[in-house]
Amino acid sequence: MMRTRPLKVALLGCGVVGSEVARIMTTHAADLAARIGAPVELAGVAVRRPGKVRDGIDPGLVTTDATALVKRGDIDVVVEVIGGIEPARTLITTAFEHGASVVSANKALLAQDGADLHAAAEANNKDLYYEAAVAGAIPLIRPLRESLAGDKVNRVLGIVNGTTNFILDKMDSTGAGYQEALDEATALGYAEADPTADVEGFDAAAKAAILAGIAFHTRVRLDDVYREGMTEVTAADFASAREMGCTIKLLAICERAADGASVTARVHPAMIPLTHPLASVRGAYNAVFVESDASGQLMFYGPGAGGAPTASAVLGDLVAVCRNRLNGATGPGESSYAALPVSGMGEVVTRYHISLDVADKPGVLAQVATVFAEHGVSIDTVRQQGKDGEASLVVVTHRASDAALGGTVEALRKLDTVRGVASIMRVEGE
């Protein structure tokens, strides 16, 4: 039997995502009520610019006083889609203290202060859901947190930023340079006017922190995530990747160490074999590859950003939280019992593709090979091309630690026959 008294929802933010949340709540009101067991009512919308026309939203619901809205006491669920650290953090904790559960899409805040927010939710016996914080419409957090709760996840490897994937895909498919591809992404609305958060990997790093924490039952903060942007990737890198049967993606990689005693989380460009499922992810789409003991390999794919896709994830959380509210229960909170140490990038082991500019004369290859051997880095393949006294030497290693590779490169730079290190790229997905 359906309850007639509606559950009241406060919406913080009414931009691209917030306006879609409000629209879906209105147009799908009957379906949402049937799925929840009670109607949901938009009780207030906090915005910065109250004079802006917002189609489908009663102007009487609009307020600039977000604090007063979350303190009302009759609000059942607060949906936070304003982003950033403050005032979002204070508003969320205030909502818990005044009796509301929270649905958030705020990846930056959750990556930085997720533990404190979970503690505040638990202290007030309220829900904190955030499916929309990672990979837009793709169901990912709930499968990791609930569906795979009985399994042991060993690795999460994914494309979690649509802007960078669009740019790299365009560079690969058309031969465009980085700036040309970025300009097209901006013109099409895939890239912000200031794309730094995307192209320098900050956005993906926040998502990696969230995914690693859930997958490994360990608190992983944004500061724990190694981050490298993709602005230095060139057409020459793509040419080298093609020669190896690879393409290049900006990847978020969360791994459990082979001995199970630690975890790592990192974001950086990497070559990935064309045979790997992630290699075929095109345009602005996202995909995440999960490897676990019992389930084996799972792939989650779909639109990772945009108003409607992200709002879909928000509404999914809203339905779950409202159901919990009706049943007087809460869903799963933070699981950090494993408390595994988070290792630095130096301990990460993977393959490397190194391109060197060298003198085109006898003995160079032997010198370079000796340096690799002295640092314990095994060479898989070498390719050399020379012309007019100069040459390029491409070395692909077997698996080696980042620390060992760093020492190798430092030693290579000291050789008189090495003119420079043109590029270094990790090779993943094998």
Sole residue written with tokens 């290699």: 279
Q: How far apart are CA 323 and CA 327, in angstroms?
A: 6
Tokens representing 179 are 């700036």
- Candidates 313, 243, 279; CA nearest to 157 is 279
Q: By the 8 A CB rule, do 265 and 224 touch?
A: yes
Other Cβ atoms closer than 10 A to 343: 17
Please say if 207 is a catalytic residue.
yes
Measured CA to CA, the distance from residue 266 to residue 209 in angstroms comes to: 9
The residue among 310, 402, 344 whose CA lies nearest residue 224 is: 344
**What whole-number distance in Å separates Cα of residue 341 and Cα of residue 323?**
36
Cβ contacts of residue 300 below 8 Å, gap of 6+? Answer: 135, 138, 139, 140, 143, 158, 287, 288, 290
**CA 182 – CA 168 distance, rounded (Å):** 9
From 207, 249, 361, 414, active-site residue: 207
What residues act catalytically? 207
